[in-house]
Structure 1
Amino acid sequence: MIRAVRLLSKALLWFVIVTVAWVGLYRFVPVPFTFTMAGDLMGGHSVTKDWTPLSRIDPDMPRAAIAGEDSRFCEHHGFDYRAIANAAWRNAQGGRIRGGSTISQQTAKNAFLWQGGGYVRKAMEAYFTVLIELLWPKKRIMEVYLNIAETGIGTYGAEAGAQRYFGHSAARLSPTEAGRIAAVLPLPKKREAVAPKGFVRRHGNAIARYVGVVRRGGLDACLK
């Protein structure tokens, strides 16, 4: 029993050392590849990505991400408990399932884990969320998010999304274009930002309107 406890303690210690080093490395080095990208390749899709520093992405893109995904991004420390509670309440009423994940949580999942649910993956996501909030500034979290989030089938990041949908760099996105990319993020394999219809169009237009609210309200202050 004592030997088993010692082995478990050593394994846990090595897990912490490796994961902290991994997260620490990604604070400075572009994320080269993710499990989601590997899944696309295994599914027969090509992978298009173009790592772009946050300073070279139009400010309306992170504002659109904040407007559409996580309005309290600059305030919370990885988890928005108010949003989680609201999502749980709405889901209990039935209808379309809504999540309460923050940009930090989505970044942790996209950078270090795989897609899908399950308690193990959720626990790992929470662990990596705590680590990136401790080791990365908010600007780095947003930078990684906007470079590895899937913006279409086999398309990753704001730059690749801007080139795919609008034929130009993410450095000069309009609020409408940024809003449409942000509207695609929750379901990138089922939504298109070019000539969107229905929910994607309505949601993208709503996000575009809220880009100004984010700017005027200083909701992106942690990115400056």
Structure 2
Amino acid sequence: MRSTVRGGFLGRLVRWALVLVLVFGLVGPAAVVAIYRVVPPPMTWLMVERMFQGHGFDRRWVPLGRISPQLVRSVIGAEDARFCEHHGFDFNAIQKAMAHNEANSSRNGPGKIRGGSTISQQTAKNVFLWPHRDYVRKGLEAWFTVLIEAIWGKPRIMEVYLNSIEWGPGVYGAEAAAQANFRESAAQLSPAQAARLAAIIPKPLAWKAARPGPYIQKRGGHIAAAAGTVRRDGLADCVLR
């Protein structure tokens, strides 16, 4: 009799645990993503962390239509040339990154790691998750990437990305970055300015768009050329209609 009662209790406990996993692991994130399809996402984990580190906070949300197409093309050229083609994950880029990291490690030991994250993955990480790498975060990043691709679509992903990423100490989003670096609105960025902003995305606390050193000048030139290819080949057509 006791074993039957105990078995029934354990069965109910397992069912409730599954319900909680379903609600908080599947339904909850989907509901939040659906809300952020129309509402600008608030402060991110990284923004809060930077404030505790003593950085300020400058973020000025603007719709995608008030961001220069030059910047859209530049970030696609710099960060994710197949943004309009994939559904959140660029498996070719992931394989190339893994091969590079394995070769680099075998030659030189632990060194610089190349990532294969798409703009969609970067957006999922920046908006919903903490900045430090671990397996739990990567798993959640994949799930949120699937959700934003399904619920938001490419234009909204780009809009949130360009309004959320870090572009300097306490500087977040394209409008704040354009004003801080060039005293221009995001809508008025020139091709060279847009390329420089895209060039500093990997290291926004160390690299400067307004006063670029030789490396950023060279990198900006490459990105400007890539942006030209993006325009010529229609690689941003899913965003710039």
TM tier, shorter chain? over 0.9
State the shift of 1:6 in Å.
Answer: 1.4
Which residue number in structure 2 is paired with residue 66 of structure 1? 76
State the shift of 1:115 in Å.
Answer: 0.4
Q: Does 1:220 align with 2:220?
A: no
Aligned mates of 1:28, 1:3 — CA distance in 2: 38
Larger Rg belongs to: 2
Decide which moves more: 81-90 or 187-196: 187-196
1:181 pairs, out of 192, 197, 208, with 197
1:45 pairs, out of 51, 55, 80, with 55
Which residue number in structure 1 is paired with residue 17 of structure 2? 8
Size of the aligned set, in residue pairs, is 224
State the shift of 1:212 in Å.
Answer: 1.1
| TM-score, length of structure 2 as denominator length | 0.90
State the shift of 1:3 in Å.
Answer: 3.3
Q: Does 1:99 align with 2:115?
A: yes
1:206 pairs, out of 216, 219, 222, with 222
Q: Which runs of 5 or more residues in structure 2 are unaligned?
A: 1-9, 105-110
State the shift of 1:150 in Å.
Answer: 0.5
Amino acid of the residue matched to residue 144 of structure 1?
V
2:182 pairs, out of 139, 162, 166, with 166
State the shift of 1:5 in Å.
Answer: 1.7
Q: What is the 5 A alignment of 1:182-197?
A: 182-197=198-213
Which residue number in structure 1 is paired with residue 143 of structure 2? 127
Amino acid of the residue matched to residue 196 of structure 2?
R
State the shift of 1:86 in Å.
Answer: 0.5
Aligned mates of 2:18, 2:153 — CA distance in 1: 30
Change (3 A) 1:91 1:199: farther
Corresponding residue SS for 2:238: helix
Decide which moves more: 88-97 or 166-175: 88-97
Aligned mates of 1:93, 1:198 — CA distance in 2: 28
| Percentage identity across paired residues of the two chains | 51
Q: Stretches of 4+ moved more than 6 A in 1?
A: none
